[in-house]
A and B are shown apart, each in its own frame.
Chain A
């Protein structure tokens, strides 16, 4: 029942907002839909915590501690983003960057995007997962190109082509997986169900599965933004509307990584070696290092934080690649705190860019003077994402580093150097944006900055104290992935 609501509300919401059109109340309706989805997701989470993993509707959907945690996170960030986007998109409309019709497209696609992400997370069928991931790409293409400026069209086209090619490879990987599974499980729909695959993972043909994993990793890795397949990511983040950057960075990357991690568990089980983990460590480390060195060259605020997302997703991929209880725990925690912190940062950066009339960092100055809330939000968010204690990012990065020293000591200097370079680059750029002489104008609507501080407060809490039930929950999920 909860499941029906979790998937049904955003789907119906997408259609309803498309039909409702641009009324004065459309943004409120959008937030209400997202709130309802979040409540349904909370109910589902409560049920899973109480009853353990469930299979629903003829095994079509499968919920365990790993995906329910991502479902809750996705629904929560989607809800806060919809709150933030209410004044933000009204300001964009007032500034003439959008037409009412495009706002209608935005609201409809926002809900559809939430729906496709939740479908990716909840489905038990690897094929349906692919279909939903492709659908998520299609909806976000429309969101990225919302402004119809030359740059946004280019970003959307690049995103479309690169992710389309990436997903085509993931489909080939899925075909290979089905090919291996069919031998053991027989034809028909059952051979692509995660639950059935996990039961027989020891019997699947290792050669085929290894090849399938390479294709799936490259395919879904394109969407995670792993270097060297990350090219679409900074463009899409910089040229799309800010709420879209926030959900892309905070949610879509996590969802794509979820697909990779699920496959990794399966393939490690079939191969009995650490092949999949090694590949993930390689891609992860490359992303961390490459992104860290590209950070210092950015001039656009949203591009800067897009590269920071590449860095952090690389770090999470690396952590899942190491495997084992502690690294996986750290990876899950880092996914959570990164998604909360990064969306909070995008909220502040978005409003800062609106106030200054430019996304170029050179044009954004003295936020603390013109609007202390935005200034402090950006400063605290940046400190949090850079791994300063006592924020949660510090806790997860610290865990990842200690495990690395223990398990893969060779990688430690690379990670430390990259984190240091990233710190210097981001802090050096954010500092003059926050302090310095103000260059801002007045906005026609009051910005909604409550989500920023809610997110940062949760991240702070996770850094100081993880409630026991939450830690348990992470541990269960880590044991599943292990």
Chain B
């Protein structure tokens, strides 16, 4: 195997993203979770920048910049600020069963690679081999949302899913058109702000951020 340096770098970053997705899946501490999320965003920025450099796609530099500003700096800052204000900095998720979550995660990764194989064979991008990893990141974030019982970690799962989607767009097509990408970024930002306001309402009403308070409405 003699890949050019930039292709090797992209594969390395993709592998790091998958590793971080697993790390987030099993991280119990909310504070470390936010840091992992910021780190994932940073790896995403690096990989996007390498893709942009190797393919001379100007708009990818812009989206790398937007990602850096939004997902590496602004959102983690808002999150840290929120958990400090809500006084849940040292909260620990106690209910997740790490070994079985890991196992389900591995099954999901295999599924994701199978799902992505027929698509990536049509792709002409240098990043096509990473489409499977992107799909895996989406599914792992989804799994994280299901297994978490704290509102804050569910939201981080949601944002991690958005990271995976962004990575998928970069690997399949070198990113979406600029206007769409900006729109998505705006939605993510507004969404996080609303989530933040929501945390306060939930805490005010239930005096905790545990989701199990939010499971009253059911079919009887």
Seen from chain A, the residues whose Cβ lies within 8 Å of a Cβ on chain B are: 125, 127-128, 130-131, 134-135, 138, 141-142, 145, 148-151, 153-158, 160-161, 164-165, 168, 171-172, 174-176, 178-180, 182-183, 187-189, 191-192, 205, 207-208, 211, 235, 239, 294, 297, 299
Top 4 closest A-B pairs, CB basis?
A: A127-B180, A131-B183, A154-B214, A189-B177
Within 8 A of A (CB), among B150-172: 151, 154, 158, 161-162, 165, 168-169, 172
Q: A150-B206, A172-B165 are in contact. Are A130 and B180 (CB under 8 A)?
A: yes
Interface core residue of B179, B180, B191, B195 (most chain A CB under 10 Å): B180
Are B165 and A127 touching (Cβ within 8 A)? no
Q: A172-B165, A187-B173 are in contact. Are A165 and B180 (CB under 8 A)?
A: no
Residues of the B chain whose Cβ atoms lie less than 8 Å from the Cβ of A178: 169, 172-173, 176-177
Residues of the B chain whose Cβ atoms lie less than 8 Å from the Cβ of A239: 217
Within 8 A of A (CB), among B130-161: 138, 142, 145, 151, 154, 158, 161
Residues of the A chain whose Cβ atoms lie less than 8 Å from the Cβ of B118: 207-208, 211
Are B179 and A161 touching (Cβ within 8 A)? no
Seen from chain B, the residues whose Cβ lies within 8 Å of a Cβ on chain A are: 115, 118-119, 122-124, 138, 142, 145, 151, 154, 158, 161-162, 165, 168-169, 172-174, 176-180, 183-184, 186-187, 190-191, 194-195, 198, 201-202, 205-206, 211, 213-217, 219-220
Are A179 and B194 touching (Cβ within 8 A)? no
Q: A138-B187, A179-B119 are in contact. List 6 more A-B contacts (CB 8 A).
A: A138-B194, A145-B201, A154-B213, A158-B217, A176-B119, A211-B119
Are B198 and A156 touching (Cβ within 8 A)? yes
Q: A141-B194, A192-B177 are in contact. Are A171 and B165 (CB under 8 A)?
A: yes
Residues of the A chain whose Cβ atoms lie less than 8 Å from the Cβ of B138: 168, 172
Q: How far apart are the CA atoms of A175 and B120 in the complex, in Å?
A: 13
CB < 8 Å A-B pair total: 137
Are A125 and B180 touching (Cβ within 8 A)? yes
Q: How far apart are the CA atoms of A130 and B124 in the complex, in Å?
A: 25
Q: How far apart are the CA atoms of A211 and B121 in the complex, in Å?
A: 14
Are B172 and A154 touching (Cβ within 8 A)? no
Q: How far apart are the CA atoms of A337 and B75 in the complex, in Å?
A: 44
Interchain nearest-CB distance for B134 vs A (Å) = 9
List, sorted by A's number, 15 A–B pairs whose CB atoms are closer than 8 Å. Answer: A128-B179, A128-B183, A138-B190, A145-B198, A150-B216, A153-B205, A154-B214, A157-B202, A168-B158, A168-B161, A172-B165, A192-B180, A207-B122, A239-B217, A297-B220
Are B217 and A151 touching (Cβ within 8 A)? yes
Interchain nearest-CB distance for B119 vs A (Å) = 6
Instruction: Across the interface, name the chain B residue whose C-beta is closest to A142.
Output: B194
Are B151 and A164 touching (Cβ within 8 A)? no
Are B184 and A187 touching (Cβ within 8 A)? no
Instruction: Across the interface, name the chain A residue whose C-beta is closest to B168.
Output: A175
Interchain nearest-CB distance for A57 vs B (Å) = 12
Instruction: Across the interface, name the chain A residue whose C-beta is closest to B135.
Output: A172
Q: A178-B173, A297-B219 are in contact. Are A208 and B202 (CB under 8 A)?
A: no
Are A134 and B217 touching (Cβ within 8 A)? no
Q: A176-B172, A179-B123, A207-B118 are in contact. Are A235 and B201 (CB under 8 A)?
A: no
Q: A179-B173, A188-B177, A192-B177 are in contact. Are A131 and B219 (CB under 8 A)?
A: no
Q: How far apart are the CA atoms of A131 and B179 in the complex, in Å?
A: 10
Q: How far apart are the CA atoms of A299 and B122 in the complex, in Å?
A: 53
Q: How far apart are the CA atoms of A179 and B115 in the complex, in Å?
A: 15
Contact of B154 among A161, A183, A188 (CB under 8 A): A161
Interchain nearest-CB distance for B176 vs A (Å) = 6
Q: A164-B158, A175-B169, A207-B118 are in contact. Are A151 and B180 (CB under 8 A)?
A: no
Residues of the A chain whose Cβ atoms lie less than 8 Å from the Cβ of B124: 183
Interface core residue of B190, B211, B215, B217 (most chain A CB under 10 Å): B217
Interchain nearest-CB distance for A291 vs B (Å) = 12
Q: How far apart are the CA atoms of A107 and B27 in the complex, in Å?
A: 41
Q: How far apart are the CA atoms of A141 and B173 in the complex, in Å?
A: 32
Residues of the B chain whose Cβ atoms lie less than 8 Å from the Cβ of A168: 138, 142, 158, 161-162, 165
Residues of the A chain whose Cβ atoms lie less than 8 Å from the Cβ of B184: 127, 130-131, 134, 171
Residues of the A chain whose Cβ atoms lie less than 8 Å from the Cβ of B178: 189
Residues of the A chain whose Cβ atoms lie less than 8 Å from the Cβ of B142: 165, 168
Contact of B168 among A134, A160, A172, A191 (CB under 8 A): A172
Are A235 and B174 touching (Cβ within 8 A)? no
Are A189 and B122 touching (Cβ within 8 A)? no
Residues of the B chain whose Cβ atoms lie less than 8 Å from the Cβ of A175: 165, 168-169, 172-173, 176
Interchain nearest-CB distance for A336 vs B (Å) = 30
Are A150 and B205 touching (Cβ within 8 A)? yes
Interchain nearest-CB distance for B188 vs A (Å) = 9
Contact of B205 among A130, A135, A148 (CB under 8 A): A148
Instruction: Across the interface, name the chain A residue whose C-beta is closest to B194.
Output: A138
Interchain nearest-CB distance for A58 vs B (Å) = 11
Interface core residue of A141, A179, A189, A299 (most chain B CB under 10 Å): A179
